[in-house]
Each structure stands twice: as structure tokens, then as C-alpha cells.
């Protein structure tokens, strides 16, 4: 059972309070009428199913009712970071690969670092939880 | 019967407290501190079960959770029955009643025993599947008898009188296992300041130290345990949980511990004199760090007839001797591939029993323990092993032979040794179960001859679990792991903890030996058991590999290796080693073992906790619930809500049927006035300057011009264009709306609104709040509704002043109210919203004034009939996630020309959603008015068509209409709107076929005049 850091409540809570809401960072076409049926179908129905780093939207359903994002490793179930809606992940499949190559470990002492704001996030730098 | 095998002294039992217990109907004495297994051995009970498949007599083999044979059914009464209890893990208590799980009709003389005697060639792996396969329909019949013969535990037929608890726990360091490594780890972490939970599954903490020959810091191991546990118990930050098994390790260091609170005292808490206390407790522990110090299980060797009672795992014999003062025999032969097992021979000799020989598979063992054994006069036979045990109900001898383990052959003459007990030790298997519960594969270490755990984030390993076996090293390893865990959780060590000093010994290396070669091939030799609980033999594993099963996972499923209550704790590694030998591969090439929760069986009671009976599922009541109960309502579950279904009256002393009650309620609404408690409808208060814009995006229809005081019906789609919910939304003020949802959709619609606001349109200033429980809703409806309302409200009810789809603020029965002129019945209707705590007052006032109009309370069933007569849909009943507003004929509620691309709009212009032959909502009128079609019935156009028929749609709602005096239905039908007047057919499962005419969805008052009277 996951232990999830809610970036709004600012603390870890049990998974029972949360609910997954599928892939994060989906972009709804701004002008739906101008996109093809195929592109609309892709937006509606097609989702990534990666082995490894995945960004997911969750909702703190039985808590603050806020939606937020989680970067999770689908092979280890490790949650690498959680970050509020509207922000970008600091850990992606690409940065994870670079970290791995450079031998940089993710912060220990827990499972989650809170996603840094985009403007002050730099590669290979952790924000301690 | 006396305890013949009880030593005159020694052990950790209390000889002053004699306990009486019953096993298979026979009474025996035991001592406080015994397990059921040690008490049975003390009384010389050799046969405790019959084996699962071959029905061979079986005795106790081990002393812990790995015990494969001594599986019993516990409980003196029916309600207290507990299946599949390991006798080795059950503390003895006075009055304990146990029966063998296997062995129908009894263990001593078994009708099935011919099976075991006839030999394995008659029952190879897959025997049941191969033999009882045809005809397939008979399997259910065979299975009943096979299961009865095989015997599995049975669950009680009466309900459990005990209560169980769940407890959420948090700590920095959870230490699993209180043996030498766990105790030093816990002590070290606790001294660093961490909150520590230490759990251990045994009756006493101490693990292997409780039967150890060693001295720690000059004192006995047991004294050191006592001192250490006392220190831990005295620390405020430490929680000690004995009798607590860590059964599951889950993501992010979530560990489930099962604590047995009264199970060691009596059948039930009440029997233990502790009525009202919990029988067992499930601790849900979230730990910063976990130290796994679960130790190891000794592997038995695989040799012929190794299942005859009297064959035991070496270490278990030491446990029974030293901890329980029980010598389970007179003359011992020990067969081993390692030094450590020699202690069993020394223990046996010190207990005054005869050690016939130690048979060591190694050519030149010369470790300190070996020397000690030789010095004490024990005969050591080297380069050899016990090839076969003699005897049937009890071991009578051991056939010993020199072996060549690399070529897997016997090399010398067989020597027969007379003995009644054979102890075997094939080395040790780390108890890695919890480390692999989250999917981490263990690693095979050829140098250690065992699987060690793979790296698990947040978990530290100490002692035997990572194949550290020597006591001095184990104690040091625990100290290290405890310090590391505490440090990782943020607690630095103030000072180094001294590791207790123990005598160090030289040890000669363990040799790799799993199955002992026999003079005959595995297939011809007497059975060599790998998995005693599932009757899997070496020949069976060999046969499986020859039949093409190459992965251990497949071998497991074919032979049943590793199934059952012990989950292969004793047999898995031996089975893999045999498969590897047969396939000429290494053990890791054959596969790795994967374990899943739970480590040992957990009773359903503990899993369920308090979530049973009336606490199984929450129930929601409206503010008027008590009135409904007092007025005889029958209730229907809608989500978690209890809603009045109908209100049967007593007529001439007889209670109305549902049909009669619903007919009466329907006619009351159509001809007089009725009242419905509609409080369960979801209500969402929406405020903010952008509230109106938001509604326009989330609903399919237009909201730009809805003025304060007006109400509108809205449809909500998902972005795939399919209807998800509907309801009315009222404009309370320029920036203030009240949305209603279906009863079941209240929570999901609120989340849906939040989703779009938070993720797509955060720039909109709008706020949502659930007010479902804050307001009670009462629907007063029927031609007499205005007259009744006029008596209780100050609102002007004039039909020109208070139009259909208006709402007004005022008082009803003297309390503030919002009254909405909306109708779900097609009749004149007023929906009254008042604060929930005023609801009963208003409801009673309405009835006080309503008596002269015969005000009739009605329930959900009447509500359904009335709305369906008007063709009004229920989202989720008449729709199923594949129905668009167009399919429902509701294009009037779709604003294609709205400026913002609202949710669902784009999908409604896809070619598929524009198809003419989509399933469309229609009415169905059965040709026979007495027929009420079945909801879900399929519609076909050609009744003569052969199966499979072309299915054109199905019935979604169907009722009997008292006002129409006919059955009627709503249905979805392909191209339905172009089929008005056509006849369709509904074939039923009983062979009859109903005929119905396709009609408009509005069955009653098609001009909608009645709601405006």
C-alpha cells in the first residue's frame, strides 16, 4: 500500500485516502473542432504504459480533494516525487537515465521528494522531503 | 497415559502446571509452555496425520512454521473451529481439542492407505487430472471424494464468537524476528532513540537462543535473552510484540503483523476468561525502516522413506530436547552435510539417549563440533549418507551408504543401522519470504548454498536471513543492521554498542547435498519425499522435467511442489536442486522462488477485523429516516443510502403487496397528492464570478441566460460524448448556482467538476461545495399539490407568478425554504428544500395539513413508474456509458453553437456518434397489456430467426402502469426513432416470445399539460 506525499497537505498519507486518475500531463486540444477524428481519438483513448518512470495524476479524494501528479517507477512502485497541478516533473525517464549513467542516487531516507518549481529545478538536484 | 518421552529435567516448560488436551479423541497430559507438537511428542504420538495424496502415516518433522505434517483442526465447539493450524505453532492450553486435518476416517487405520502402498507409478504428478479428466462434467463429483480423502481443513459452520481488531502503527524501525540478530538490532536502534517495534512469532522472544548450547558474555543464552528483553521492555520508545507474525511486506514499508492475543490461552477469549477482549489483532505498520531478522529454516535431506514418522529435521530435535524437555525417541542416527547439525547429536547424547552414528556426506569434516562429537565417543561415518529409512509406522532403522555427490551414485556397501529416529540436515535456507513480497527476486549464492534476499529499499537484513549463521557473526550483524536502520531514519548512534562475546569455533565447509543418491533410480527406489505436505517426490519432480516442464514455476504447478500451508518452506530448495540436476543446469538457471503474502495462514477474522455485521458497510440515512421506519416503509439500497422503496399499508389486517402499494401510490400522485423524500439527490453549491461560464463548459446545454429564480435541466457528458449524469441546476444569484445530481453520482460529479476546474481551467474563479446532507428535499406532487402547499407557505403559488422551472425563497411551515417548481412525475410538483434539521417538522406539518387531501408518501418504486410513464430517464439505468444525448432524443439540450468547446461536443461530431443506426431510446408497449417485460431483455426483429439472432437493443426500464392499466417499457433500439409503430420481439429464456410495439417514450400526458395545471 502506497504512502503518498500530498503536496497540498504537505504530509504523507495512506493510499486509502487517494485515488489514481490515470496518466498525467494529457493536453486537451485547445480547439477540438479543428483536430482530426484520429487525433481526438488519441486524446480520448490512448495512454502510455511505460515500464519504468511514469507520471500519473492522483486525487486526494478523502483529504483535501486536490488533484496532483506523481512520478512513479512502475517496476519498483517507488514514488520518486509528487508535485502540484500545473508544474512539471523534475524526474523523467530521460533524467533518470542520466542519473543512472552518472551514478547519482535519488535522495534516500524516504521515497518521495516534493517536485521543485520549474524555475528553480535543476537536473541531479534533489529537494529534500 | 504418561509422558514417556519427557526428560526428567530441563526445558523451558512449567512442570508444576499440568494441562490436559485431546487429540483425535484421546486425552493426553502436557505442561504449560508446551506447544501442541512438543506435548504430542512427549506422549509418544508418532502418527499425527495422513499424507495428502498417498495417505501415508506422517509424524512431526519440524518445530516451527515450516512444519508440513502436523496440520490440525482446532476447537472444542463448532463455532471455535480453526482449520490448518500448525501444531508446532500452537501453544498448549488446558482443554485444547485438536484433530488431524488429513486422515479420513482416522489416522491409524486409513481406508486410503492402499494408495500409499501401491507405489508412485500409480499416482504420478497430474494423476488426478489425467485420470479423472473424462467426462469433464464428472470432475465435480470426483472432486468431492478426492478432497474428502485428501482432507483439507474445514471452516466453522457457526459464526465466530470472537472479535478482532486492526491497529495502525507507526515507527522508525520495525524489527522482524527476535532471535540473536533481531534482539541486537532492536537494542541498537532503540538506544539510538528510534521508536522501535520488535515482533516475533513465537511464544517467547529469543529465537534460536532459546535452544542454544552457547554462552553469551559468560551467561547462558537464555539469561542473555531475558536481560535483553527486559531492557527493551523498559524503554518507552519500544513496543514488544511476541506471538506476532509479520505476514506481509507491502509497498513503502507497509507491514502487516498478526498478533495472537488469546489464541494461546483457550479456544475463545471468553473461554480464556477474557470475554470482550480481542482474540487477535492485525497491526498495520508503516515503518521508516524495516530490519528483517527472520533467520533460516533447516533443510531436510531427501532420501527414501524420509517421511516415515521418526524422520525429523535435526535442529527441531534440539528444540524439543532443550526447550521442551522432550526426546522424541531412543536411538538416533544423524545424517548431515554440515557442522552445525552435530549439536543435535551432542544434545541427544547429553539427554541420556543413544547416538547410533552421525553420517556425514563430507569426506573429512574436522570442525570443532565434529571433534567434540568424536571426543564424546560418537561414531562418525564420513563420505556417506542415510540412503533409506526402514519402518512403516515408525522408523526402525537407517540404511547408510557411501555416496559420490558429483556423479550422484552410491559407491559402497549398504550398512543397516538400527534406530528409531533419523535426524537430517541439508544446510539452511534463509527465510527471505518478506523480502520478496514486493516482487524482488532473491539471489542464489552457491558459496552459501541458499537464496539471499535481493536489495529492498528501506529494508535492512540481519543474521540468518542473509546466510550469516555463526552466532558471533549473527550478533554483530544485528548490531550493524540496527545502527544502520536507526541512522537512515535520522538517529545517530551515541556510542558503539558492545556485541556480546561468544566462543568462536572453526567450522568445516558445508557440502552441497539435497537428494541422497539411492542404489536404485529415483523412479524405482522407495519414495523420496521433497514436499511432505503435498506428497511431491523426487521421482515426481524428475518426471515433470522429463515431461517438458523446465521452469521451476511450471514444475511447481504440475507437481504441487510448494503449495499448501507451508508454501514450500522445507521442500522448495530441494525441489529446485533436483529439477536442476535432472535438467543439467544450475539452481538459478531453473528459476528463483517467489513468495507472496501471507507468510503463514491468517484467519479471516483477523483480516476482517471489525468490518463485519452492521459495520461491514456504512449506511446513510436521510433526516426523515425514522419517520419512514415508523410508517412501515420497505427500504431499498441506493449507493450507501437507505431509501423508502414503498410504503405498504395494512388493508383488512393484511399487509399490501408491493404491486398493490405501488399502484395505490401511483394513483394518489396522478389523482390527488403524494410526497417523496428526495433528500438523497446530490446537491452541489457552485459559486464564483465564473460559475456560469463553468456550467456552460461542463453541461451540454446553454447557461449564459439563465436568470436568478430560474431552473434548468442539464446533461453532463464525458469528453467521449457519452452521458454521465443529469439533473437540474438553479440560478440562486448571478454568481451562485445549486446543481443537483443523481443519488449515486453525487460524489463522482463533484470530483468531475473539481477535475476540470483544477486541471484544465484553473483560471476560472469558481468554487464547489457538497450540500447534499445540509438540505432535505421533499417533493409534493399531484393535482392537489398547490392547494396543500398554499396552507403551509407564504410563497405566492399563482401559476403565472410561480411558473414551471422557477424557484422561490420563502418559508414552509414557518422555516426558511427554497421551493422549486420542477417535476419528475409529470404532475404539478413543488420540491421543497429546507435545512435538514427542520425536515421532520416540515414533513409532519405537510401531513397535518395533507390529511384532507389524503397526502400519500411514496417511495422509489412509484417514483420510477411515474417518471418512466413520462419518458424521463435515469442516468445509469436507461444509459450505460455508450449513450449520447442524441441517442436519447435530447438534442434540444445540446448547445452546438455555444462558443466554448464544452465537454463532449467534439465527440458528438465523430462519424460513429452520428450514425443513424445507433441504439436510440424508445418506448415499448407490450401487445399483451398484462405483460411486464424483463429489464435487460433483448429485442429482435425476426422472431423466427435461428440462434444466434440479430440483437437490436434491450429493455432498460419496465413497469406496470396503474394509470394506463398496462405494462410499458423504455428501451434502446437500433435506429429506434425510425421504427415507430413497428412490432419487435423479445425472446425469453423460457422459450416464450413477447411482442411489443415501438412507441414514443412519453406514455402519459404527451402534451405535458399536467405539470402546468
For residue A44, give the nearest of B457, B489, B720 by CB distance: B720
CB proximity B17 to A under 8 Å = no
Cβ-count burial of A87 within 10 angstroms (0-12 exposed, 13-18 middle, 19+ buried)? middle
For B855-886, the pLDDT digits (tens) are 999 999 999 999 999 999 999 999 999 999 99
Same CATH fold assignment for domains B619-680+775-872 and B915-1013: no
Q: Which residues contact B108 (CB under 8 A, 6 or more apart)?
A: B47
Instruction: Report, as an integer, the average pLDDT of B231-252.
Output: 97
Superfamily name with CATH number, domain A3-119: Folate-binding superfamily (3.30.2270.10)
Residue of chain A minimizing CA distance to B489? A109
Q: What is the pLDDT of residue B567?
A: 82
> Can you read off the three cell numbers belonging to residue B583?
535438467
- Residues B619/B639, Cβ–Cβ less than 8 Å: no
Cα–Cα distance for residue pair B313/B346, rounded to 1 Å = 15
Query: Quick check: helix, strand or coil at residue B490?
Result: coil
Q: Tell me the chain A residues in contact with residue B286 when contact means C-beta distances shorter than 8 Å.
A: 3, 14
Instruction: Report, as an integer, the average pLDDT of B925-934.
Output: 97
Q: How many helices (H) and strands (E) does chain B have?
A: 22, 52
Q: What is the pLDDT of residue B724?
A: 96
Q: From residue B469, give the alpha-carbon distance in Å to each of B152, B463, B568, B949.
A: 36, 7, 21, 71
For residue B457, give the nearest of A43, A65, A78 by CB distance: A78
Cα–Cα distance for residue pair B163/B964, rounded to 1 Å = 55
Sign, Cα dihedral of B227, B233, B235, B238 = positive
Confidence class for position B585, pLDDT limits 50, 70, 90: very high
Higher pLDDT, B504 or B21: B21
CB proximity A61 to B under 8 Å = yes
Kindly report the average pLDDT of chain B as a whole number. Answer: 93
**DSSP assignments along B687-741, one per residue:** ESTTHHHHHHHHBSS--TTPPTTBEEEEEEE-TTS-EEEEEEEEEEETTEEEEEE
Q: What is the 3-state secondary structure (H, E, C) of B157-184?
A: CCCCCCEEEEEEEEEEEEEECCCHHHHH
pLDDT tops 80 at residue B113: no
Of B476, B259, B508, B256, the closest CA to residue B362 belongs to B508
Residue of chain A minimizing CA distance to B896? A33
Cα–Cα distance for residue pair B754/B767, rounded to 1 Å = 9
Note whether B755 contacts A21, CB cutoff 8 Å: yes
Note whether A28 contacts B458, CB cutoff 8 Å: no
For A51-67, the pLDDT digits (tens) are 999 999 999 999 999 99
Instruction: Report domain extents, chain B.
Output: 1-159, 163-293+431-488, 299-426, 520-590, 619-680+775-872, 681-771, 915-1013
Sign, Cα dihedral of A62, A63, A68, A71 = negative
Query: Quick check: helix, strand or coil at residue B627?
Result: helix
Residue B669 C-alpha, separation from nearest chain A C-alpha, in angstroms: 40
Residue of chain B minimizing CA distance to A80? B252
Residue B453 C-alpha, separation from nearest chain A C-alpha, in angstroms: 15
Note whether B901 contacts A61, CB cutoff 8 Å: no
Residue B493 C-alpha, separation from nearest chain A C-alpha, in angstroms: 16
**What percent of chain B lies above the pLDDT cut of 70?**
95
Taking domain B299-426, whether its CATH number is 3.40.50.720 is answered by: no
pLDDT tops 60 at residue A123: no
- B681-771 CATH fold: Alpha-Beta Plaits (3.30.70)
Instruction: Report, as an integer, the average pLDDT of B584-610.
Output: 90
Q: Tell me the chain A residues in contact with residue B905 when contact means C-beta distances shorter than 8 Å.
A: 32-33
CB atoms within 10 A of CB B480: 18
For residue A2, give the nearest of B251, B457, B911 by CB distance: B251
Q: From residue B375, give the alpha-carbon distance in Å to each of B337, B346, B372, B507, B949.
A: 19, 11, 5, 16, 89
Cα-to-chain-centroid distance, residue B720: 35
For residue B760, give the nearest of A28, A45, A78 by CB distance: A28
Cα–Cα distance for residue pair B642/B776, rounded to 1 Å = 14
Q: What is the pLDDT of residue B417?
A: 98
Q: Tell me the chain B residues in contact with residue A106 when contact means C-beta distances shorter than 8 Å.
A: none
Note whether B754 contacts A109, CB cutoff 8 Å: no
Residue A116 C-alpha, separation from nearest chain B C-alpha, in angstroms: 18
For residue A67, give the nearest of B458, B488, B755 by CB distance: B755
Instruction: Report, as an integer, the average pLDDT of A38-62.
Output: 95
Residue of chain B minimizing CA distance to A79? B252
Q: What is the pLDDT of residue B719?
A: 95
Residue A122 C-alpha, separation from nearest chain B C-alpha, in angstroms: 25
Confidence class for position B1013, pLDDT limits 50, 70, 90: confident
CB atoms within 10 A of CB B530: 32
Q: What is the pLDDT of residue B144?
A: 57
For B638-682, the pLDDT digits (tens) are 999 999 999 999 988 999 999 999 999 999 999 999 999 999 999
Q: What is the pLDDT of residue A107?
A: 41
CB proximity B719 to A under 8 Å = yes
CATH number belonging to the domain at B163-293+431-488, selected among 2.40.100.10, 3.20.20.70, 3.50.50.60, 3.40.50.1010: 3.50.50.60
Of A90, A93, A85, A98, the closest CA to residue A114 belongs to A90
Q: How many helices (H) and strands (E) does chain A have?
A: 2, 7
For B776-817, the pLDDT digits (tens) are 999 999 999 999 999 999 999 999 999 999 999 999 999 999
pLDDT tops 60 at residue B286: yes
CB proximity A38 to B under 8 Å = no
Cα–Cα distance for residue pair B771/B927, rounded to 1 Å = 46
pLDDT tops 70 at residue B559: yes
Higher pLDDT, B20 or B110: B20
- Residues B519/B414, Cβ–Cβ less than 8 Å: yes
Cα–Cα distance for residue pair B871/B1002, rounded to 1 Å = 5
Q: What is the pLDDT of residue A103?
A: 58
Note whether A85 contacts B762, CB cutoff 8 Å: yes
Q: What is the 3-state secondary structure (H, E, C) of A64-118?
A: CCCEEEEEEECCCCCEEEEEECCCCCCCCHHHHHHHHHHCCCCCCCCCCEECCCH
CATH top class, domain B619-680+775-872: alpha beta
| Cβ-defined contacts of B435-439 (< 8 Å, 24+) | B435/B249, B435/B292, B435/B459, B435/B461, B435/B465, B436/B593, B436/B594, B436/B595, B437/B248, B437/B249, B437/B250, B437/B595, B437/B596, B437/B597, B438/A77, B438/B249, B438/B250, B438/B251, B439/B594
Q: From residue B956, give the alpha-carbon distance in Å to each of B195, B880, B963, B970.
A: 59, 10, 21, 6
CB proximity A33 to B under 8 Å = yes
Residue of chain A minimizing CA distance to B902? A32
> Can you read off the three cell numbers belonging to residue B791?
396552507
Which residue in the block uniquely carries the three cell numbers 529439477?
B579
pLDDT tops 50 at residue B53: yes
pLDDT tops 60 at residue B142: no
Q: What is the pLDDT of residue B962?
A: 97
Residue B914 C-alpha, separation from nearest chain A C-alpha, in angstroms: 13
CATH top class, domain B1-159: alpha beta
Q: What is the pLDDT of residue B213?
A: 93
CATH top class, domain B520-590: mainly alpha
pLDDT tops 90 at residue B271: yes
Instruction: Report domain extents, chain A.
Output: 3-119
Query: Quick check: helix, strand or coil at residue B913?
Result: coil
pLDDT tops 60 at residue A113: no
Which residue in the block uniquely carries the three cell numbers 438540505?
B775
Q: Tell me the chain B residues in contact with residue A76 when contact means C-beta distances shorter than 8 Å.
A: 457
Cα–Cα distance for residue pair B929/B926, rounded to 1 Å = 6
Query: Between chain A and chain B, how many beta carbons pairs sit less than 8 Å apart?
Result: 66
Note whether A108 contacts B488, CB cutoff 8 Å: yes
- Residues B52/B150, Cβ–Cβ less than 8 Å: yes
Q: From residue B431, give the alpha-carbon distance in Å to each of B66, B173, B184, B450.
A: 10, 19, 18, 10
- Residues B319/B543, Cβ–Cβ less than 8 Å: no
Residue B852 C-alpha, separation from nearest chain A C-alpha, in angstroms: 47
pLDDT tops 50 at residue B1008: yes
What CATH number belongs to B915-1013?
A: 2.40.30.110
CB atoms within 10 A of CB B995: 15
CB atoms within 10 A of CB B118: 11
CB proximity B758 to A under 8 Å = yes
Q: What is the pLDDT of residue A95?
A: 82
Q: Tell me the chain A residues in contact with residue B438 when contact means C-beta distances shorter than 8 Å.
A: 77
Cα–Cα distance for residue pair B994/B1006, rounded to 1 Å = 25
Confidence class for position A108, pLDDT limits 50, 70, 90: very low
End-to-end CA distance of chain B: 93
pLDDT tops 70 at residue B167: yes
Cα–Cα distance for residue pair B549/B528, rounded to 1 Å = 20
Apex B61 CA angle, B330 and B120, nearest 5: 110
Residue of chain A minimizing CA distance to B484? A109
Q: Beta strand B296-298 with B428-430: parallel, antiparallel or unpaired?
A: antiparallel
Note whether B286 contacts A40, CB cutoff 8 Å: no
For B25-44, the pLDDT digits (tens) are 999 999 999 999 999 999 99
Amino acid at each position: 500500500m502506497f504512502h503518498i506525499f500530498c503536496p497540498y497537505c504537505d504530509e504523507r498519507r495512506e493510499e486509502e485516502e487517494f485515488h489514481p486518475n490515470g496518466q498525467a500531463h494529457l493536453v486537451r486540444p485547445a480547439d477540438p473542432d479543428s483536430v482530426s477524428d484520429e487525433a481526438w481519438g488519441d486524446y480520448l483513448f490512448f495512454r502510455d504504459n511505460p515500464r519504468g518512470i511514469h507520471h500519473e495524476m492522483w486525487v486526494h479524494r478523502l483529504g483535501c480533494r486536490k488533484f496532483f501528479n506523481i512520478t512513479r517507477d512502475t517496476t519498483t512502485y517507488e514514488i520518486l516525487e509528487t508535485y502540484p497541478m500545473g508544474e512539471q516533473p523534475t524526474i523523467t525517464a530521460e533524467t533518470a537515465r542520466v542519473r543512472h549513467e552518472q551514478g547519482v542516487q535519488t535522495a534516500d531516507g524516504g521515497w518521495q521528494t516534493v517536485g521543485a518549481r520549474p524555475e528553480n529545478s535543476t537536473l541531479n538536484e534533489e529537494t529534500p522531503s | 497415559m504418561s509422558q514417556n518421552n519427557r526428560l526428567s529435567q530441563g526445558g523451558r516448560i512449567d512442570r508444576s502446571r499440568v494441562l490436559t488436551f485431546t487429540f483425535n479423541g484421546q486425552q493426553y497430559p502436557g505442561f504449560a509452555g508446551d506447544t501442541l507438537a512438543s506435548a504430542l511428542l512427549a506422549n509418544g504420538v508418532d502418527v499425527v496425520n495422513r499424507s495428502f495424496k498417498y495417505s501415508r502415516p506422517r509424524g512431526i518433522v519440524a518445530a516451527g512454521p515450516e512444519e508440513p505434517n502436523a496440520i490440525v483442526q482446532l476447537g472444542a465447539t463448532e463455532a471455535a473451529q480453526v482449520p490448518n493450524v500448525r501444531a508446532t505453532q500452537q501453544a498448549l492450553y488446558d482443554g485444547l481439542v485438536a484433530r488431524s486435518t488429513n486422515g479420513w476416517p482416522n489416522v491409524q487405520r486409513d481406508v486410503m492407505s492402499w494408495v500409499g502402498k501401491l507405489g508412485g507409478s500409480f499416482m504420478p504428478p497430474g494423476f488426478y487430472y489425467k485420470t479423472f479428466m473424462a467426462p469433464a462434467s464428472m470432475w465435480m463429483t470426483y472432486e468431492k471424494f478426492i478432497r474428502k480423502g485428501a482432507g483439507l481443513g474445514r471452516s466453522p459452520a457457526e459464526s465466530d464468537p470472537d472479535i478482532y481488531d486492526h491497529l495502525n502503527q507507526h515507527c522508525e524501525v520495525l524489527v522482524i524476528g527476535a532471535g540473536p540478530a533481531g534482539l541486537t538490532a532492536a537494542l541498537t536502534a532503540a538506544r539510538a532513540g528510534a521508536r522501535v517495534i520488535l515482533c516475533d512469532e513465537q511464544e517467547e522472544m529469543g529465537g534460536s537462543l532459546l535452544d542454544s548450547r552457547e554462552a553469551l558474555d559468560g551467561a547462558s543464552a537464555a539469561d542473555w535473552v531475558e536481560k535483553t528483553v527486559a531492557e527493551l521492555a523498559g524503554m518507552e520508545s519500544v513496543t514488544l510484540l511476541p506471538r506476532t507474525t509479520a505476514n506481509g511486506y507491502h509497498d513503502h514499508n507497509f507491514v502487516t503483523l498478526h498478533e495472537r492475543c488469546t489464541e494461546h490461552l483457550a479456544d475463545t477469549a471468553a473461554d480464556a476468561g477474557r470475554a470482550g477482549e480481542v482474540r487477535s489483532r492485525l497491526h498495520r505498520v508503516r515503518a521508516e525502516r524495516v530490519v528483517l531478522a527472520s533467520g533460516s529454516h533447516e533443510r531436510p535431506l531427501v532420501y527414501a522413506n524420509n517421511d516415515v514418522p521418526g524422520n525429523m529435521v535435526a535442529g527441531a530435535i534440539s528444540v524439543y530436547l532443550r526447550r521442551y524437555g522432550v526426546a522424541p525417541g531412543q536411538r538416533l542416527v544423524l545424517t548431515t552435510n554440515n557442522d552445525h547439525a552435530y549439536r543435535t547429536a551432542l544434545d541427544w547424547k547429553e539427554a541420556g539417549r543413544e547416538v547410533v552414528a552421525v553420517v556425514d556426506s563430507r569426506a573429512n569434516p574436522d570442525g570443532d563440533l565434529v571433534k567434540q562429537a568424536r571426543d564424546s565417543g560418537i561414531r562418525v561415518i564420513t563420505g556417506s549418507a542415510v540412503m533409506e529409512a526402514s519402518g512403516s509406522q515408525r522408523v526402525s532403522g537407517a540404511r547408510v551408504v557411501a555416496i559420490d555427490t558429483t556423479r550422484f551414485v552410491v559407491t559402497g556397501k549398504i550398512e543397516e543401522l538400527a534406530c528409531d529416529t533419523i535426524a537430517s540436515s541439508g544446510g539452511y535456507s534463509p527465510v527471505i519470504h518478506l523480502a520478496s513480497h514486493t516482487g524482488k527476486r532473491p539471489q542464489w549464492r552457491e558459496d552459501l548454498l541458499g537464496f539471499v534476499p535481493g536489495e529492498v529499499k528501506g529494508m535492512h537484513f540481519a543474521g540468518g536471513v542473509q546466510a550469516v549463521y555463526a552466532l558471533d557473526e549473527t550478533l554483530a550483524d544485528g548490531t550493524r543492521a540496527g545502527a544502520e536502520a536507526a541512522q537512515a531514519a535520522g538517529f545517530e548512534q551515541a556510542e558503539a554498542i558492545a556485541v556480546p562475546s561468544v566462543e568462536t569455533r572453526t567450522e568445516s565447509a558445508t557440502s552441497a547435498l539435497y537428494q541422497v543418491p539411492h542404489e536404485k533410480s529415483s523412479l524405482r527406489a522407495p519414495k523420496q519425499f521433497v514436499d511432505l505436505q503435498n506428497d511431491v517426490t523426487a521421482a515426481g519432480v524428475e518426471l515433470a522435467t522429463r515431461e517438458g516442464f523446465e521452469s521451476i514455476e511450471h514444475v511447481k504447478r504440475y507437481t504441487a511442489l510448494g503449495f499448501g500451508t507451508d508454501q514450500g518452506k522445507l521442500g522448495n530448495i530441494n525441489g529446485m536442486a533436483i529439477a536442476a540436476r535432472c535438467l543439467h543446469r544450475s539452481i538459478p538457471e531453473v528459476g528463483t522462488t517467489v513468495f507472496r503474502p501471507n507468510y503463514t495462514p491468517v484467519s479471516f477474522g483477523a483480516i476482517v477485523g471489525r468490518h463485519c455485521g452492521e459495520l461491514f458497510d456504512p449506511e446513510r440515512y436521510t433526516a426523515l429516516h425514522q419517520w419512514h421506519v415508523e410508517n412501515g416503509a420497505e427500504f431499498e439500497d441506493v449507493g450507501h443510502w437507505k431509501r423508502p422503496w414503498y410504503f405498504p399499508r395494512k388493508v383488512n389486517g393484511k399487509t399490501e403487496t408491493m404491486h398493490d402499494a405501488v399502484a395505490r401510490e401511483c394513483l394518489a400522485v396522478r389523482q390527488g397528492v403524494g410526497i417523496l423524500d428526495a433528500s438523497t439527490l446530490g446537491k452541489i453549491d457552485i459559486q464564483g464570478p465564473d460559475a456560469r461560464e463553468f456550467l456552460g463548459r461542463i453541461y451540454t446545454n446553454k447557461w449564459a441566460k439563465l436568470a436568478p429564480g430560474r431552473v434548468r435541466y442539464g446533461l453532463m457528458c464525458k469528453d467521449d460524448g457519452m452521458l454521465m449524469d443529469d439533473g437540474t441546476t438553479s440560478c440562486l444569484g448571478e454568481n451562485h448556482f445549486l446543481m443537483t445530481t443523481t443519488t449515486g453520482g453525487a460524489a463522482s460529479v463533484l470530483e468531475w467538476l473539481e477535475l476540470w476546474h483544477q486541471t484544465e481551467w484553473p483560471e476560472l474563479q469558481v468554487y464547489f461545495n457538497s450540500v447534499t446532507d445540509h438540505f432535505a428535499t421533499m417533493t409534493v406532487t399531484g393535482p392537489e399539490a398547490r392547494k396543500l402547499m398554499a396552507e403551509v407557505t407564504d410563497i405566492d403559488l399563482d401559476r403565472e407568478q410561480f411558473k414551471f422551472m422557477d424557484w422561490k425563497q420563502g418559508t414552509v411551515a414557518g422555516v426558511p425554504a427554497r421551493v422549486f417548481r420542477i417535476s419528475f412525475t409529470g404532475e404539478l410538483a413543488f420540491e421543497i428544500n429546507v435545512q435538514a434539521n427542520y425536515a421532520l417538522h416540515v414533513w409532519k406539518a405537510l401531513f397535518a395539513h395533507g390529511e384532507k387531501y389524503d397526502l400519500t408518501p411514496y417511495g422509489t418504486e412509484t417514483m420510477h413508474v411515474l417518471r418512466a410513464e413520462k419518458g424521463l430517464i435515469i442516468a445509469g439505468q436507461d444509459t450505460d456509458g455508450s449513450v449520447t444525448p442524441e441517442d436519447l432524443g435530447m438534442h434540444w439540450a445540446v448547445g452546438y453553437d455555444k462558443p466554448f468547446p464544452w465537454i463532449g461536443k467534439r465527440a458528438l461530431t465523430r462519424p460513429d456518434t452520428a450514425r443513424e443506426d445507433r441504439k436510440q431510446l424508445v418506448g415499448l408497449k407490450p401487445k399483451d397489456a398484462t405483460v411486464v417485460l424483463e429489464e435487460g431483455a433483448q429485442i429482435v426483429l425476426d422472431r423466427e430467426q435461428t440462434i444466434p439472432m440479430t440483437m437490436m437493443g434491450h429493455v432498460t426500464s419496465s413497469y406496470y402502469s396503474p394509470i394506463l392499466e398496462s405494462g410499458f417499457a423504455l428501451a434502446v433500439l437500433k435506429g429506434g426513432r425510425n421504427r415507430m409503430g413497428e412490432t419487435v420481439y423479445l425472446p425469453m429464456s423460457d422459450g416464450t416470445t413477447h411482442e411489443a410495439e415501438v412507441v414514443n417514450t412519453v406514455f402519459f400526458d404527451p402534451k405535458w399539460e399536467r405539470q402546468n395545471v
